[in-house]
């Protein structure tokens, strides 16, 4: 059998897992691994400019492809810099394998140079973690790590490797295990047929049904069967922020996003529903508003691969633990074979009511030809110019919500944002991961002047690897979402939410070797954007000045039900 | 309601910290905790007591089950079970008190396992409320030091928790 050093095993194991890209940053504790990387060409190492960006890039790659992201960082500060990205992936159930260097085994616990207890720090953030204690364990640990990260409810895992484990002079036989068996880890592979039948019976008797699908429908590759089931039943469908693209955004049955900044019709339909099919969503506070007032008349069917997500926030009437695609598939087959079908008269009446709510056009906004440009207009223009075909990554704030509301995603994995943790600084490095996954695709990062500055150093990485990302900086000269809350709840006292002394983003982009464009008037936007996307081999930083006073509506009224919303600065439900 | 949750888990470094961490991370309380290897050296048995309504306990057991190292888990309070805790107590024992303490120890079926001219060290086994009753009987002012093992438990009858 072939003999390899621990460092070589790490790299070979990644190759054996089919890892194309390893996002990382070198340092003392991982130098043996970097030396092994240098001497092979199967795994492409991508050098970022900050370890947080490595995790977000791997995360973006994972969200776009469904394959696990891979990250390599050194011990101490390298490892702690990665923590925000690990937490981001954890909250959104993104498969990711993070390898961190560690001080040599003998020094662990001695407060050695660049020692941190990474396993301890990450304990609440990862699905599982391993510390390598014998180089011979490396193949098995890697096999298990990828298996755990990608199965069941996916998530990040950590492998912490003391430097002596990768030493080049100690060589051991290497064989990558074909199978993995863990007696204490057996993710569910099928939902309970009895429960599924019960759910279908309730579904076919519903008079006011809604399908509500989340990120699990995308992670679980359930978009196709979800779309077929939705169309077969002719039920209204809504997606969470994480679920956009699971059901086509331009489909007439689609009500838009629900929740805190969801559409009027989605939130109204949910509240008045008598039946809700929740597929791969977790009824979190951004969706439910006050959970005690959530959908008082509905029979709730909750499908999730993670049993702990069911009845955590809202008790489910019919819980189904299982993979969303498999469960929905079984449901669809039962519906197709059933003699009973939904009562069309009831459904027509329900649709009439839903269309009534739609007529309210809750996403309308004021255009004032002489006034400042509106951020909504920027996203609408982006949708038009890219013909709805771009990957859109986003940061966190008003721009994120406008992107979610105004860009219609017809396909899964094209909308990439940090929904659970809400990590400013996510969007740009995530866009890098997406562009690596799909080099010819249009990738737009919709961001704000606050968020983009949290990982702006990655413009250097983009130059090195020629990533033609389009940065759509919706510049409202404010931490807009914070400012909106201060307007609404703190008497307009804008404590620290003003972005003063902004850099000249155009000059900055140019300094990094990219193209910068400044747009201040609405009438210039479409032309400029077309020009930007025509530059298919260049990163373009579009700095677009918009109205600082604009708010995102609808917006939940705190403490209320899902249908208690502000609809504008002056109107509420 | 008080629950006794008994867990079989991989006897690996880090497993215990994941269980304990879960409780602090999610704001659950641990009242007592005991852990030791089993007859199968790859497995440890961990017993903990906690308080919560049915919904909370359901969440706790679901999250525990999600931990990779947790192999099997049972809520002993769901069925008939035997609960034991061991307690060592140092009690002031001078003059007339010596006989009185000795009598209480006998009533509670404890043993005096160490003696000085002023102190008895008493060993007592039983369910938690029995141990508390002994302390109450002796009187807190007489008690110098208490050490409890935490609760261990096992199902009654033929039900077993194994692989
Ligand atoms: C790392 C991080 N820090 C703080 C916050 C809190 N926060 C949420 S939105 C927001 C403002 C974002 O400003 P900007 O990126 O300019 O977006 P805008 O809301 O103006 O569109 C802040 C500070 C956060 N989500 N993430
Ligand atoms: Mg802003």
Q: For residue range A221-237, what is the model confidence (pLDDT) as tens digits?
A: 999 999 999 999 999 99
pLDDT of residue A533: 98
pLDDT of residue A369: 79
CA-to-CA dists, residue A506 to A99, A473, A503, A511, angstroms: 36, 11, 9, 9
**Residues A55, A69: Cα–Cα separation, whole Å:** 8
* Cα three-residue angle A413-A417-A419, rounded to 5 degrees: 115
Residues of A involved in catalysis: 51, 113-114, 163, 481
In this prediction, residue A122 carries a pLDDT of 97
- CA–CA separation, A228 and A218 (whole Å): 15
- Compare all CA atoms of chain B with the CA of A152 and give the residue at the minimum distance: B66
Q: Per-residue pLDDT tens for A155-212? A: 999 999 999 999 999 999 999 999 999 999 999 999 999 999 999 999 999 999 999 9
Which of A119, A183, A311 is facing B14, going by the closest CB pair? A119
Query: What are B149-158's pLDDT values in tens digits?
Result: 999 999 999 9
The reply to whether ligand 1 has any atom less than 6 angstroms from the CB of A397 is: yes
- Is the pLDDT at B13 greater than 90, yes or no? no
Model confidence band, residue B36 (pLDDT cutoffs 50, 70, 90): very high
Strand B2-10 to A565-566 pairing: unpaired
Q: Which pLDDT does position A489 carry in this prediction?
A: 94
**B58-98: pLDDT as tens digits:** 999 999 999 999 999 999 999 999 999 999 999 999 998 89
The pTM (predicted TM-score) of the whole model is 0.96
Atom of ligand 1 nearest to the CA of A499: 16
Helix (H) or strand (E) holding A171: strand A171-173
DSSP summary character for residue A23 = E
- Would you call A181 helix, strand, or coil by DSSP? coil
Nearest Cα to Cα of residue B47 among B91, B88, B12, B2: B2
Comparing C-alpha atoms, which of A328, A101, A343 is closest to residue A224? A328
Q: Each residue of A138-149: pLDDT tens digit?
A: 999 999 999 999
Residue A350: predicted pLDDT = 98
Instruction: Say if CB B142 and CB B117 are below 8 A apart.
Output: no
In this predicted structure, what is the pLDDT of residue B140? 83
A470 lines ligand 1 (CB under 6 A): no
Q: How far is the CA of A403 from the centre of ligand 2 (A)?
A: 14
Interatomic CA distance for residues A317 and A296, integer angstroms: 12
Q: With b meaning 16 or more CB within 10 Å and e meaning fewer, what string describes B55-65?
A: ebbbbbbbbbe
Contacts of A124 in chain B (CB under 8 A): 21, 25
- Mean pLDDT of the residues in chain A: 97
Nearest by CB: B70 against A120, A184, A315: A184
In chain B, what percentage of residues exceed pLDDT 70?
A: 100
pLDDT at B141: 84
- Name the residue with tokens 């906004």: A365
Helices (H) and strands (E) in chain A, counts: 21, 22
pLDDT the model gives residue A366: 86
With a 6 A CB cut-off, is A481 part of the ligand 1 pocket?
yes
Residue B33's Cβ-side half-sphere holds a number of Cα atoms within 13 Å equal to 10
Q: Say whether pLDDT at A255 is over 90.
A: yes
- What is the Cα–Cα distance from A109 to A119, expressed in whole angstroms? 13
Best substitution site from A445, A450, A454, A472 to test ligand 1's pocket, by max atoms within 8 Å of Cβ? Answer: A450
pLDDT of residue A367: 80
Q: Round to whole Å and give the CA distance between A139 and A179.
A: 11
Q: What angle do CA A380, A386, A391 make, to 5 degrees?
A: 95
Nearest by Cα to A434 from A405, A458, A408, A451: A458
Query: Per residue in A441-468, pLDDT tens?
Result: 999 999 999 999 999 999 999 999 999 9
A324 touches A217 (CB < 8 A): yes
Burial of A39 from C-beta contacts in 10 A (0-12 / 13-18 / 19+):
exposed
DSSP A265-334: HHHHHHHH-SEEEEES----HHHHSSGGGS-TTPEEEEEES-GGGTTSSS--SEEEES-HHHHHHHHHHH
pLDDT of residue B7: 97
Q: Do the beta carbons of residue A203 and residue A227 sit within 8 Å? A: no
DSSP character for A253? T
Contact B66 A306 (CB under 8 A): yes
Residue-by-residue DSSP string for A486-531: HHHHSTT--TT-B--S---HHHHHHHTT-EEEEE-SHHHHHHHHHH
CB B41, CB B92: distance < 8 Å:
no
Give the integer Cα–Cα distance in Å for A210 and A234. 10
- CB atoms A182 and B68 under 8 Å: yes
Instruction: Determine the Cα–Cα distance for residues A309 and A215; give it in Å rounded to an integer.
Output: 13
Mean pLDDT of A69-90: 98
Residue A537 in tokens: 């081999």
Kindly identify which residue of chain B lies nearest to residue A117, measuring between CA atoms. Answer: B14
Q: How many Å apart are CA A99 and CA A157, to the nearest integer?
A: 9
Nearest chain A Cα distance for residue B84, angstroms: 28
Mean pLDDT across the stretch A473-501? 95
Q: A19 pLDDT band (50/70/90 cuts)? A: very high
Contact A399, A375 (CB under 8 A): yes
Decide if B68 and A128 are in contact by the 8 Å CB cutoff.
yes
Q: Which two tokens stand for residue A469?
A: 């990302």
Q: How far is CA A446 from CA A118, A420, A462, in A?
A: 32, 18, 16
Kindly tell me if the per-residue pLDDT of B20 is higher than 90.
yes
CA distance A286 to A288: 6
Distance CA B50, CA B67 (A): 18
Say yes or no: CB of residue A479 within 6 Å of ligand 1: yes
User: What is the share, in percent, of chain A residues with pLDDT greater than 90?
Assistant: 98
Q: How confident is the model at residue A417 (pLDDT cuts 50, 70, 90)?
A: very high
Q: Is the pLDDT of residue A498 over 90?
A: no
């Amino acid at each position: 059998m072939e003999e390899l050093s621990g460092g070589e095993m790490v790299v070979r194991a990644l190759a054996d897992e089919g890892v194309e890209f390893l996002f990382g940053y070198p340092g003392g504790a991982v130098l043996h691994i970097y030396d092994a990387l240098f001497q092979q060409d199967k795994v492409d190492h991508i050098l970022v400019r900050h370890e947080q960006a490595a995790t977000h890039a791997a995360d973006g790659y994972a969200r776009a492809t469904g394959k696990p992201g891979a990250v390599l960082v050194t011990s101490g500060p390298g490892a702690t810099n990665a923590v925000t990205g690990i937490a981001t992936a954890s909250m959104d159930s993104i498969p990711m394998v993070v390898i961190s260097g560690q001080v040599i085994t003998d020094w662990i616990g001695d407060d050695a140079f660049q020692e941190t207890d990474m396993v301890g720090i990450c304990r609440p953030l990862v699905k599982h973690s391993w510390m390598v204690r014998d180089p011979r364990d490396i193949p098995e640990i890697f096999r298990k790590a990828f298996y755990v990260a990608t199965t069941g409810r996916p998530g990040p895992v950590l492998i912490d490797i003391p430097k002596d484990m990768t030493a080049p002079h100690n060589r051991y036989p290497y064989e990558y295990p074909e199978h993995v068996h863990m007696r204490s880890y057996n993710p569910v592979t099928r939902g309970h047929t009895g429960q599924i039948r019960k759910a279908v019976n309730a579904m076919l008797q519903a008079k006011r049904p809604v399908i509500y699908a989340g990120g699990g429908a995308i992670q679980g590759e359930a978009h196709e069967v979800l779309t077929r089931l939705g169309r077969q039943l002719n039920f209204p469908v809504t997606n969470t922020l994480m679920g956009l693209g699971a059901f086509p955004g331009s489909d007439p049955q689609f009500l838009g996003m629900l929740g805190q900044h969801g559409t009027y019709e989605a939130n109204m339909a949910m509240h008045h529903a008598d039946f809700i099919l929740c597929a791969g969503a977790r009824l979190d506070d951004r969706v439910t508003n006050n959970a005690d007032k959530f959908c008082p008349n509905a029979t709730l069917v909750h499908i999730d691969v993670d049993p702990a997500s069911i009845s955590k926030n809202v008790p489910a009437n019919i819980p189904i633990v299982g993979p969303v695609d498999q469960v929905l598939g079984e449901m669809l087959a039962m519906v197709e074979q059933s003699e009973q079908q939904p009562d069309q008269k009831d459904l027509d009446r329900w649709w009439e009511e839903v269309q009534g709510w739609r007529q309210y056009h809750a996403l309308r906004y004021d255009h004032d030809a002489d006034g400042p440009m509106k951020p909504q207009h920027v996203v609408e223009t982006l949708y038009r110019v890219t013909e709805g075909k771009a990957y859109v990554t986003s940061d966190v704030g008003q721009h994120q919500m406008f992107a979610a509301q105004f860009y219609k995603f017809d396909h899964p994995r094209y909308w990439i944002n940090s929904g659970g943790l809400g990590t400013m600084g996510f969007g740009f490095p995530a866009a890098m991961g997406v562009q690596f996954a799909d080099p010819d695709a249009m990738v737009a990062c919709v961001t704000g002047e606050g968020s983009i500055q949290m990982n702006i150093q990655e413009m250097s990485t983009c130059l090195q690897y020629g990533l033609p990302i389009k940065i759509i900086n919706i510049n409202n000269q404010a931490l807009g979402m914070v400012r909106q809350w201060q307007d609404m709840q703190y008497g307009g006292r804008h404590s620290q939410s003003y972005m003063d002394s902004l850099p000249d983003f155009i000059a900055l982009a140019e300094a990094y070797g990219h193209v910068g464009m400044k747009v201040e008037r609405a009438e210039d936007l479409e032309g400029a954007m077309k020009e930007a996307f025509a530059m298919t081999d260049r990163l373009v930083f579009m700095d677009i000045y918009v109205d600082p006073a604009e708010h995102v509506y609808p917006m939940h009224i705190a403490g209320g039900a899902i249908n208690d919303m502000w609809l504008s600065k002056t109107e509420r439900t | 309601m008080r629950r006794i949750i008994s867990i079989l888990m991989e006897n690996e470094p880090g497993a215990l910290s994941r269980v304990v961490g879960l409780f602090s991370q999610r704001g659950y309380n641990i009242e007592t905790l005991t852990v030791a290897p089993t007859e199968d050296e790859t497995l440890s048995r961990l017993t903990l007591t906690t308080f919560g309504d049915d919904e909370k306990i359901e969440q706790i057991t679901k999250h525990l089950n999600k931990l990779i190292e947790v192999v099997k888990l049972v809520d002993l309070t769901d069925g008939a079970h035997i609960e034991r805790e061991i307690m060592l107590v140092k009690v002031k024992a001078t003059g007339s008190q010596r006989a009185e303490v000795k009598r209480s120890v006998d009533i509670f079926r404890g043993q005096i396992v160490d003696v000085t001219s002023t102190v008895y060290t008493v060993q007592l086994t039983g369910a938690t409320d029995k141990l508390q009753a002994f302390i109450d009987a002796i009187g807190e002012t007489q008690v110098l030091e208490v050490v409890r093992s935490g609760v261990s438990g096992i199902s009654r009858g033929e039900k077993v928790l194994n692989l």
